[in-house]
A and B are shown apart, each in its own frame.
Chain A
Amino acid sequence: MKFKVRGIDTFASTGGRPFDKNKPLIIFVHGSGLSHMVWVLQTRYFAFRGYSVLAVDLPGHGLSSGESLKTIEEMGNWIGDVIGAVGCKEASLVGHSQGCLVTMECVAQHPEKIKTLTLMGGASAIPMNPELLKLAEESNPKAVDLMMDFAHGPAGHFGGHPVPGLYHLNVGSMIVQNKEIKDTLGVDFRACDNYKNGPEVAKKLDLPTLSILGAQDRMCRLKDGKILADYIKGSDVKIIEDCGHMMLLEEADQTLEILKKFIAEHYPLPN
């Protein structure tokens, strides 16, 4: 659905159900250069089981208008505004990769609005390889190819998509290339590279938190994901074997099962 956030047209997938502000809200936040489309194997499930779902396109991404936000702090604050913009007071957040930094920042800035936090393929800092950052800021398609290489584990490289007929690497690549690379991926990579507050923010988090990590993640390595989880008080950690950074697609079923249990326990539907 389209709605306004700070006067800018914003798109979010509602998982195929009409948005209902009276249902518990789960917001999904994508990673660098990506869009709502990466969440399709999680959002539809929750949308058809009593939750309101928003897989947002960050400003300038996917089907949202405006320019990309330049810092993780701004993005975190923007997610807080999304909750109010759709007439809700609170939400659970699910972030992937850069989306983990964004959702942590959102909790730090709007603690009263956020009920649970799920971090997929996260780390407390995501410093960028300088060459990759330069390529992205120059809109060089090689940046996307490198990102797809690093982001995918064995499933992505060989295939075996959970949705028959889809090919991981090229789907991801086309989602990113839907926009000018420097305006989305370039800005996002720079924002990740600049963000240094991760450890401090993580240490202050005080809400039910789940980290889902890929054992073969080359983008945010398993050890860095574990370090982030250690910073967060009481964080639950689930590791998916033989899986890279794109667990939400590469191992969509396992990811959904883990998320289902966590949401059911910490953010249940009202009786």
Chain B
Amino acid sequence: MDPKTYKFDTLSLHAGYQPSKNAGSRQVPIYQTTSYMFDDVDHAAALFNLERGGHIYSRMSNPTVQVLEERVCALEGGTAALATASGMSAIFLTIMTLCNAGDHMVVSSQLYGGTVNLFRLTLPKFGIKTTFVKPRDTEGFKKAIQPNTKGIFGELVGNPGNELMNMPEVSNIAKEAGIPLIIDSTYQTPYLCKPFEHGADLVVHSLTKWMSGNGSSMAGILVEGGTFDWMQNDKFPSMTEPYEGYHGLSFAEEFGPTAFTMMARAEGMRDMGPCLAPQNAWNILHGLETLSLRMEKHCSNALKMVEYLSNHESVAWVSHASAPGHPDKELAEKILPKGTGSMIAFGIKGGKEAGAAFINNVKLASHLANVGDARTLVIHPASATHSQMDEATLKFAGLSHDMIRLSVGLEDFEDIVNDFEDGFRAAKKPRLVANK
């Protein structure tokens, strides 16, 4: 006897939506509205006081966005989700729900540059400080925890250097300390890894990337695993003590495995309002329908690219967890059995100048500040996505000036290679000039 609950591919097409409740519309309708009619005064009061479910105002929730939230939640194996205007707003909302002024976070140093800036420069304005730890320094995460630490945050596969955080071991450290582990799983998508199965308590995504794949829309999401016991200690009073904003409601007592998301929506979306536009939610939903198919091709193209780059005379080094000799290969095989994703970092011989020549001369690969598009993307992080970092921070984040960040797309592999050959040919020229 086995449960007949729907599986991954079915959920990616159907979860969160019932046509029978939407005029029979097979496709999810776009509810392009700001607000929702109340039945009467009693109904309005009940909605505002979280006595019953439903929509009030699209800053808080929207039926189209709700489908996306439930669908991602189902795919991740979570209890609740909250979609936001971007991945960065999902991270900001998560930290602002978790922390108060005077609190502290332990954070992996290898992150998207915008996330580094958030923890390094912006959150201190709110009295939230951060200790950065290199992703492979598992013991370092433990040592960095202070009495006022409220969580550990990291990308499973770090951007852009592809160093892996040992999620199961870091999760044990977080559990021992009675704090949640928050994983940015943008690079993996739930197709490659479900962080809740490896000890994460909260997951965030930039849905702008592989989850949609179409490169059309910004979106982010917070997903709750329902695993963290907020009442185990006194570290999270805003979750466990009566909350004045809702007549003394204790989120942890009342909502249990969905408490964090309920609070993030009730307080964070109410007060900060980084809501997702329904049109963008709809665009992301379209992408999600083909997540498995796309991720499979992303990964197979990436494996071929790793082999091609590893054997190329113009390439100094290649970083991808599938690459022979990658320090995290064994861990990746355990946590990411379906594939290690389509992000590759490589060093081009000739350094920064060669890198610039390469990027300026590829034509099929798009030079832009995004990853996870269906199309192949390239960028030179030190001069773009991570350009606001000083030399020391770049070094600590594992970035070098010769690094090219490659997001492998779904094009025919031979076409990508032909394009790269043009780039490598151009990259050789400055070196020849320099040698003279």
**Segment with Cβ contacts to B, from A38-46, A86-94, A110-118:** A38-46
Q: How far is the CB of B69 from chain A (nearest CB, A)?
A: 4
Q: Report the bound CA distance from A13 to B250 in whole Å.
A: 10
- Cα distance A44–B51 when bound, in Å? 5
Tell yes or no: A197 within 8 A of B by CB: no
**B66 close to A (CB within 8 Å):** yes
B51 touches A253 (CB 8 A): no
The CA-CA distance from A163 to B73 in the complex, in Å, is 13
CA distance A132 to B3 in the complex (A): 11
Query: Residue on A with the closest CB to B62?
Result: A164
* Docked-complex contact B53 and A44, CB < 8 angstroms: no
CB distance A16 to B16 under 8 Å?
Answer: no
Whether B1 and A146, one on each chain, are in contact in the complex, defined by CB atoms closer than 8 angstroms, is yes
Residues 152-185 of A at the B interface (beta carbon under 8 Å): 154-155, 157-167, 169-171, 174-175, 178
Looking at the complex, which of B255-263, B282-290, B313-321, B323-331 is the stretch in contact with chain A? Answer: B255-263
Bound form: Cα–Cα A161–B78 in Å:
14
Contact B50 A44 (CB under 8 A): yes
Identify the closest chain A residue to B15 (Cβ).
A159
Are the C-beta atoms of A48 and B74 separated by less than 8 Å? no
Contacts of B37-51 to chain A: CB distance below 8 A? 45-46, 49-51
Chain A, 120-168, CB within 8 A of any chain B CB:
129, 131-132, 142, 145-146, 148-149, 154-155, 157-167
**Residue tally, chain B, CB below 8 Å to A:** 57
Partner pick for B17 among A16, A158, A164, A174, CB 8 A cutoff: A158
Among residues 38 to 60 in chain A, which have CB atoms less than 8 Å away from a CB atom of chain B? Answer: 40-41, 44-45, 48
Please report the C-alpha to C-alpha distance between residue A41 and residue B265 in the assembled complex, in whole angstroms.
Answer: 17
Point out the residue from A13, A149, A171, A178 that lies within 8 Å of B5, measured CB to CB. A149
Closest-CB distance, B57 to chain A (whole angstroms): 12
Q: Confirm or deny: B135 has a beta carbon within 8 angstroms of a beta carbon on chain A.
A: no
Interface string of B59-82 (1 = CB under 8 A from A): 011100111011101100111111
In the complex, the number of residue pairs spanning A and B with C-beta atoms less than 8 Å apart equals 155
Q: How far is the CB of A172 from chain B (nearest CB, A)?
A: 9
Chain A residues with Cβ below 8 Å from B334 are none
A149 touches B254 (CB 8 A): no
B227 within 8 Å of A (CB atoms): yes
Interface status of A221 (Cβ within 8 A of chain B):
no
Task: Name B265's closest neighbour in chain A (CB-CB).
Answer: A165
Complex CA distance for A17 and B248, rounded to whole angstroms: 7
Q: Write the nearest CB–CB distance from A59 to chain B, whole angstroms.
A: 18
CA distance A161 to B256 in the complex (A): 16
Do residues B227 and A174 form an inter-chain contact, with CB atoms below 8 A? Answer: yes
- Expressed in whole angstroms, the Cα–Cα distance for A62 and B229 within the complex equals 12
> In the assembly, what is the distance between CA of A162 and CA of B63, in Å?
10
Contacts A155-B18, A170-B226, A171-B80 given; indicate if A149 touches B74 (C-beta within 8 A). no
Q: Which residues of B contact A45 (CB under 8 A)?
A: 46, 51-52
Instruction: Choose one: A142, A163, A252; the contact of B3 (CB below 8 Å).
Output: A142
A77-121 vs B, CB cutoff 8 Å, 1 = contact: the mask equals 000000000000000000000000000000000000000000000
Inside 8 A of B428's CB, which chain A residues have their CB?
none
B53 touches A160 (CB 8 A): no
A157 touches B6 (CB 8 A): yes
Chain B residues whose C-beta falls within 8 Å of the C-beta of A155 in the assembled complex? 18
CA distance A67 to B1 in the complex (A): 29
A171 and B79 CA atoms in complex are apart in Å by 5
Report the count of interface residues on A (CB-CB < 8 A). 44
Q: Mark B216-252, 1 if CB is under 8 A from A, else 0.
A: 0000000001110001000000000000001111000
B168 near A: Cβ within 8 Å? no
Whether A148 and B79, one on each chain, are in contact in the complex, defined by CB atoms closer than 8 angstroms, is no
Kindly state the separation between the CA atoms of A148 and B73 in the bound complex, as whole angstroms: 16
- Among B6, B16, B49, B254, the residue within 8 A (CB) of A160 is B16
CB–CB A167/B74 < 8 A: yes
- How far is the CB of A213 from the nearest CB of chain B, in Å? 20
Task: Please give me the residue from chain A that is nearest to B82 by CB atom.
Answer: A165
| B257: chain A residues within 8 A (beta carbon) | 37, 170-171, 174-175, 178
Using known A-B contacts A17-B247, A164-B69, A167-B70, determine if residue A44 contacts B49 with beta carbons closer than 8 Å. Answer: yes
Q: Mark B2-32, 1 if CB is under 8 A from A, else 0.
A: 1111100000001111101100000000000
Assess whether A236 is interfacial by the CB under 8 Å rule.
Answer: no
**B17 pairs with A48, CB closer than 8 A:** no
Q: Do B70 and A148 have beta carbons less than 8 Å apart?
A: no
- The verdict on A164 contacting B246 (CB below 8 Å), with A149-B5, A155-B18, A170-B73 known, is no
Q: Which residues of A are found within 8 Å of B3, using beta-carbon distances?
A: 142, 145-146, 148-149
A18 cross-chain contacts in B, Cβ below 8 A:
248
Given contacts A170-B79, A171-B226, 8 further A-B contacts (CB under 8 A): A41-B53, A159-B15, A164-B60, A164-B61, A164-B265, A165-B69, A174-B79, A253-B53
